Amino acid sequence: MRHLILSDIHANLTALDASLEAAKRRWEKVVCLGDVVGYGPDPNEVIDKIRALDAVTIRGNHDKAGSGLEDADDFNPVARSVALWTREQLSPGNREWLVNLPVGPVAVDGFTIVHGASRDEDEYVFAPAQALDSLLEASTPVTFFGHTHLQGGFTLRDDKVEVLHFKPNDETHFANFAIEAGTTYLLNPGSIGQPRDGDTRAAFAIADLENNAVEFWRVKYDIETVQKRMGHAGLPEPLILRLSFGR
Ligand code: ZN
């Protein structure tokens, strides 16, 4: 079965729509690694779409803060103000849906999904030393994670951790990656709604693990339209600007 792997959508409907359009008919099931809301202008619209897709979804830190499940005290002032704005926007049904999202790790069809690290959904996995625990304790050869908004990941083979980077070009839209036996993988599809690896394009992955293949995608979307909606909603200027830089 082919899975569309989405993460860190962050209430960016335009980026989500562009990604779904590009990935059309290439997948059979959707999974979402959390942070459906936070930062972006379309929390209800994005939740409605994820619910309509029947995506297997786990929660992220922004889903906890945006739904009021946790206060946003550990967020920076900019992120906190959007968490509070998101709470005001959410319909009661969508708030309820966010509150009830399961905590990763969750097993899906032979692979695992987590938001941050396997032991702690809020922990960032940026470097090999941070990836090691999740790789050693993985119950499946492939784990997908999010939270860092960086497309790439880590492999563990013969006691050695290696870092993966992908650079999908604009013509093909995706980079092919082959899964090998005897290796453990921690793979990040990147962020749909707020990429932070210097590439402004929306990021996601399509996994066909029965055929040991993962595609890492990048898709352009209309950033200006999203920035205008953020401006109208009164969201903080730094969040509007960073979409232009992918940082
Ligand atoms: Zn995020």
* d(C-alpha 28, C-alpha 5), whole Å: 11
Entry pTM: 0.97
* d(C-alpha 113, C-alpha 145), whole Å: 6
What contacts 24+ positions apart, CB below 8 Å, involve 22-25?
Answer: 22/173, 22/217, 22/219, 23/204, 23/206, 23/217
Question: Which neighbouring-strand residues pair with 215?
Answer: 176, 206
For residue 45, the Cα-to-chain-centroid distance in whole angstroms is 17
The CA 7 to ligand 1 mean position distance, Å, reads 8
The phi-psi region of residue 8 (left if phi > 0; otherwise alpha if psi is between -120 and 50; otherwise beta) is left
Give the domain CATH number at 229.
3.60.21.10
The CA 172 to ligand 1 mean position distance, Å, reads 26
| H or E element in which residue 224 lies | helix 223-232
The CA 147 to ligand 1 mean position distance, Å, reads 5
The CA 158 to ligand 1 mean position distance, Å, reads 31
* d(C-alpha 14, C-alpha 63), whole Å: 19
The CA 243 to ligand 1 mean position distance, Å, reads 13
Burial annotation 25-43 (CB, 10 A radius, 16+ → b, else e): eebebbbbbbbbbbbbbbb
Report whether 111 contacts 209 (CB < 8 A).
yes
* d(C-alpha 145, C-alpha 151), whole Å: 10
Domain annotation covers residue 247: no
The CA 187 to ligand 1 mean position distance, Å, reads 15
Instruction: Write the single-letter amino acid at 167.
Output: K
The CA 35 to ligand 1 mean position distance, Å, reads 5
Domain annotation covers residue 215: yes
Low-confidence stretches of the chain (pLDDT beneath 70): none
For residue 46, the Cα-to-chain-centroid distance in whole angstroms is 13
The CA 196 to ligand 1 mean position distance, Å, reads 10
* d(C-alpha 22, C-alpha 237), whole Å: 29
Report whether 216 contacts 168 (CB < 8 A).
yes
The CA 182 to ligand 1 mean position distance, Å, reads 30
* The two three-digit tokens of residue 133, written as one number: 């625990």
The CA 180 to ligand 1 mean position distance, Å, reads 29
Domain annotation covers residue 84: yes
The residue segments making up the domain with residue 137 are 3-242
The CA 169 to ligand 1 mean position distance, Å, reads 24
Domain annotation covers residue 165: yes
The CA 2 to ligand 1 mean position distance, Å, reads 24
The CA 8 to ligand 1 mean position distance, Å, reads 4
Alpha carbons within 13 angstroms on the beta-carbon side of residue 156 total: 20
Domain annotation covers residue 47: yes
The CA 36 to ligand 1 mean position distance, Å, reads 8
The CA 208 to ligand 1 mean position distance, Å, reads 24
pLDDT of residue 156: 98
The CA 146 to ligand 1 mean position distance, Å, reads 7
Give the chain's domain count.
Answer: 1
Which letter does DSSP use for residue 198 in this model?
S
